[in-house]
Structure 1
Amino acid sequence: MTPETVAMTSEELSRIRQQLPYAITSGHTDVVRAQSAALLSEVDRLRARLTATEGGVLAEIAAERTAQDAKWGEQNHPDGTGNKSQQYDAERARSWCQSSFGSGHGTWSDILAEEVAEANAEHEDVALRAELLQVAAVAVAWIEAIDRRDPARALGLGEGDAREAVRACDHRQCPPNECRGC
């Protein structure tokens, strides 16, 4: 991590620390929950930035790649991409994803399916590599979203930690701490 990143992170943590007393002393339960949720989200974002090179999802991916190489050795298969059927599938996946998000029902699965289909449609190495990077980035983003569903687990904290107690649902119809991903 660079000194600039550490300085920027320290400034952001100071800003969060300044906001915390208001969230605690405001006396408004909704305000406290909302600000607590916002602060937890900011802490999660900062934690991800701090651990991106030292651990987290990318470290788990590196460990999985090591395990794959240990089990299978170096793999050098043909790409098997770029045929007309795969190009058609990519157009269909792109259209499906746009339609899903346009109707307000888009999912991580839709995004990843589109990116995989676009990678399969490419036959040139440079374009295929760029699409596979997008596949990897979407997969990492999806894993990070899963981790954000349970900030205590993502931060490596136990269930009894105070952070979990102030976790608030973003959905008004859900009781606090009981959102089931609605």
Structure 2
Amino acid sequence: MADHYFDRTPSSDDRRQDVTAVVWGRELTFTTASGVFSHGGLDKATAVLLGASTPPTSGVVLDLGCGWGPIACSVAAAPADDPAGRTVWAVDVNERALELTRLNAERLGADVRAVLPDEVPDDLVVDHLWSNPPIRIGKQALHDLLLRWLPRLSPDGTARLVVGRNLGADSLQRWLGEQGWPTTRIGSEKGFRLLEVRRP
């Protein structure tokens, strides 16, 4: 049976390759591998999220469903007036993805805490939650995932989610609003919606 990128331990051979991506004016090189999401390079959705955003320079940043780490590592490697004032977490259920994220962070000289969901401290409060969420885990599982992590937002915190229009971005926006999470579409590009979620 083929691996899913949301499998905890991929059974496929760990075939690695280097890919490059230009993020915020810098060409960055990452290592990817089979058995993780978008192992061939930076996917279009994540590129839309990064291209429409500026890197947070402070606070706690959480990359939900980090894959091989393009969001978390790019944020952590971006300049900041006080790098010690910015903490970056990367969360995924795929252990190979977390290993790659740690490797890529080290390669970029960036500090990223890449962990399984249950390894995140219970009291962690997040200022910036960025995600190309795993739509293909199914609607109910996706809803459960978001309702688990959105309550971690600080009072002024925001979540940025990039979702394909044809994968239910507009219905997800409506559903989040119905759950009491004000959600605004702040961008639309190449068939993807960029949604911003705030605390009620």
TM (norm. structure 1) is 0.24
More helix per residue: 1
TM (norm. structure 2) is 0.22
More strand per residue: 2
Which structure's CA Rg is the greater one? 1
Relative contact order, higher structure (CA 8 A, sep 6+): 1
